[in-house]
Amino acid sequence: MTAGAMNEIRVGIAGCAGRMGRMLLRQTVGHGRCVVVGGSEREDSDTIGRDLGELAGIGSLGLAVGRDPGPVFEAADVVLDFTSPAATACHAGLAAATGAALVAGTTGLDGEQEKAIGDASAKTAIVRAANMSVGVNLLLALTRRVAATLGPDFDIEVLEMHHRHKVDAPSGTALALGRAAASGRGVDHDDMADRGRDGISGERRRGAIGYAALRGGNVAGEHAVIFAADDERVELVHKATDREIFARGALAAAVWLRGKPPGLYSMADVLDLRA
């Protein structure tokens, strides 16, 4: 084996036929340190058996889309997962069983599914993030800092917009921003979250963290955290125009995971934004 091959990071992609999966395929093939070793899809997908490269529009890779994710985890150093909550929880178990690291970007997980990821992280290294982009993770850090600096006279609202196909609301990133604000304020997020207003909703609860979700078109993702007081307003905004930024972040996480001990990590760890 050559030195170059020894330094390569073998990447598998769960949900390889989805919008993010195809983007991850293209980005991995063009990456200097990562190589694709497999991809999987749900059992009823009409892409089973197709060549991964042809699926992503980059020419043949000699690797077929599989219905069983097990071999992908066995072949990979790290698996990138942007699938569904149930699938991600299952994949976390496979990562723990095979020792493959996992980069999980799926949103909308419930408590039991999050627990499955936490349990798996006792046996392998997992990066879990609602959003993999560098800009959004900087926004999370800024949100925490601004919330800690501005007093309770500033109401906090989180606004997000995504494409018409997104199935969960508020987005995982919006909820992460709300939790960052709650952390900065030193309050319990779930106690303060107001996730929907309709009809005569009454006066705004002091200290609440409000959410609003918009859906339409092909918007990759837009988020704003609004701090509103009498006579002034501070807004922190991030706009994504292409999913490529999420794929780049996921691959940065894959590279960072090499050699890391078992544990549950975040993009703040990958980007050294903990301070």
Q: Which residues are catalytic?
A: 162, 166
Residue 150's SS3 state is coil
CA-nearest of 99, 131, 108, 107 to 250 is 131
Mark out the alpha helices in 66-126 (DSSP H runs): 70-75, 85-98, 111-120
Q: How far apart are CA 171 and CA 270, in angstroms?
A: 22
User: In this structure, are residues 125 and 257 in contact, taking their beta carbons and an 8 Å threshold?
Assistant: yes
| Residue 28 identity (one-letter amino acid) | T
User: In this structure, are residues 25 and 53 in contact, taking their beta carbons and an 8 Å threshold?
Assistant: yes
Cis peptide before 170 (omega within 30 of 0): yes
Q: How far apart are CA 99 and CA 192, in angstroms?
A: 38
User: In this structure, are residues 117 and 264 in contact, taking their beta carbons and an 8 Å threshold?
Assistant: yes
Q: How far apart are CA 88 and CA 123, in angstroms?
A: 16
CA-nearest of 42, 36, 47 to 12 is 36
CA-nearest of 237, 210, 232, 15 to 106 is 15
- Pairing status of strand 232-240 against strand 221-229: antiparallel
Site of tokens 């304020």: 185
